[in-house]
Structures are given as C-alpha cells and as structure tokens.
Structure 1
Amino acid sequence: MPVRSSPLTPAYVHSVLKSALEHAVREEENPRNVARNVRTGTPRPRRFEPLTADEARKFLTAASGHRLQPLFELALHTGLRKGELLGLRWEDLDLVGGLASIRRTLQRTNSGGLTALPTKTKSSERRIALPTPCLRSLEQHRNRQRKERDPTEPRSKEPR
C-alpha cells in the first residue's frame, strides 16, 4: 500500500535538498546548486465545504442520543474551532445566562498527549451566546455526568 504524504512534502523535500546543495557549493564540492532552478508550486489549501442546512439537520438527527450530541450541536450552532470546543469546561459555561467563555484550546502534544493552552491571541478569548437547543443539551449532559460521577467524590466538585 503506498504511503500518502502531505501536499507540502514536495516543497519541504526541495527545501532540504536545496539547502544541502547550497552547502556543497560553499564547501566547493559542487560547482553550482541545480535545485535553485527548480520551482515548486505552492499547494492550494483544500477548499472548505460547510454543511448545508439540510445536511446539518440530518447530522444532528443521526447524532441524537449520542453521548457527544451537545458537542456536535455546539460545533454546528456556534462555529467554534475543534480545539476551542474541546477546551471548554463547565466553569466556562453560564447555562442560566446563555453564554460560553472561550479561554483555552485543547491541543495534541508532540508525544501524542493532550494539553490545554490559552487561546492563540487575546482576540480569540471571547464570550459567545449559546443557542437554546445547545443550552438544553448541555444541561441534560451535565445532569447525566453528575449521575455518573463517582459517589465517593465530594458533591461540591463540578464535572469538568
């Protein structure tokens, strides 16, 4: 089975080869750097195709009852980025006031783990209004988490 590479791989390989040949020219091991004459095209980013309203409705219908349904609803209704969605904690959600505070993102580390980081820019830290369907789903999800929580854990501690 062939290994798939990123669209950026050819440009990266060219860059490394060009640097190595440039070093060989400086060391007078090569008369010239032939990689200078090669132009690599910059790959165009994949075009983002958002779901249509009908596709979104079908997706939410299919996700109905799934444990992550509130997350899916938040994603579709708010447009939050994946890291922002996964970085949310209960302390960030005001279900009475209908607001979410975006304070952090959840990112994968080089070792394969996960880490919570502040948002990339100060302007990314913001408060957003939560639509009514999201509020209902989140409230149900929090109640379900409270019931599933370890009974030996102190009751004052909110699920994260």
Structure 2
Amino acid sequence: MFKLKDLRTINIQHYYNKLLEQSGKTPDTIRFINKVIKCSLNKSKKENYINQNYCDNVTLPKLVSKQEVEIFTIEEQKKFICSLVDNRYSSLYILVLATGLRMGEVLALKWSDIDFKKCVLKVHSSIKRVNIQGNIEGNKTEVIVQ
C-alpha cells in the first residue's frame, strides 16, 4: 500500500504484473483496473495532489485474440445425432444442439420451464459451479423450441 504522494509508475507496473502472473487475472481485467486507477489519478492531478498521472507510462498486457468458434455443419449434426443411439444423455445432447443453450442453462431447467402446447422453452436461470456449491443466477433469456 502506498500513499498517493509516494506512488510511482513502477509501483503500478509491479501491481499489474503481480495480478497477471500470480493472481491469474486476464489482460482485459488488468486494462479495466488501469482505467479505474487512471481516472482516479487524473482527478488527483487536476486537484494538484500529484504532478503527473503515473498510469500514463505503464505497459499494459496485450489482449489475447479470442478463438473463433467452430460449429457443426448440417452433415456433422446428422452424424452426431445418429451416434446417440442408446445413449442415456441423447435428449440432453439434442436439446443443446437444437437450442444453443449453455450447459449451466440446461442444468438449471425445470419441467415447469417447458410449455409443450406452445412449444416454448423458457430459460430463467443458469447454474455456475463456484467451489463445490452450485449457485443459481438469474437470467432473462427465452428460447423457442419447435
């Protein structure tokens, strides 16, 4: 912890490096933290508490390009469905394939979420695994299954 008057660019750089290497934070998170600190230091500079913004010369981690998602072709989908014969989870796989739901959304489904007459499946929540407990989080997606 540093007092504002003792803060320097090197301190901020070390903090970001530590977050990236030891805490496993992503480059996106580091960049977001930098924006917050930079705004605070701009205000401090404007109010004459410091002479310069020490975030200006910090080297931020490069953003990792996200991989493009590959999807099944129609032919691959047919082969996949045919391979599900006698698979106890075949309904689950077909539901995911047909709707594009995430696994947490599928696992949070209840029978009351399905309206068979209207052919509508409502997704109200998602399950995320946090430590060993499953937490259900609100979600406002509505998916129509035909």
Unaligned 5+ segments in structure 2 are: 1-20
Task: Return the offset for 1:59.
Answer: 3.8
Task: Call closer, same or farther: CA 1:100–1:25 in 2, change over 3 Å.
Answer: same
Pairing 1:8–2:28 present: yes
Q: Deviations over 1:36-76 (max 9, x none)?
A: 47797877654332222343344445554444321110111
Query: What SS does the aligned partner of 2:95 have?
Result: helix
**Cα pair distance change 1:31/1:128, threshold 3 Å:** same
**Residue aligning to 2:90:** 69
Q: Percent identity?
A: 26
Q: For the structure 1 residues 13 and 103, does the alpha-carbon distance in structure 2 shift closer, same or farther, using more than 3 Å as the test? A: closer
Matches within 5 A, 1:8-157: 8-19=28-39, 21-22=41-42, 24-25=44-45, 28-36=48-56, 46-61=67-82, 63-93=84-114, 97=117, 99-108=119-128, 112-115=133-136, 117=138, 119-120=139-140, 124-125=141-142, 127-129=144-146
RMSD of aligned residue pairs (Cα, Å)? 4.0
**TM-score, L = length of structure 2:** 0.54
CA contact (8 A) 2:128 2:135 kept: yes
Tell me the distance in 2 between the aligned counterparts of 1:6 and 1:59.
35
Q: Give unpaired runs (5+ residues) of structure 1.
A: 130-160
2:81–2:94 contact (8 Å) kept in structure 1: yes
More strand by share: 2
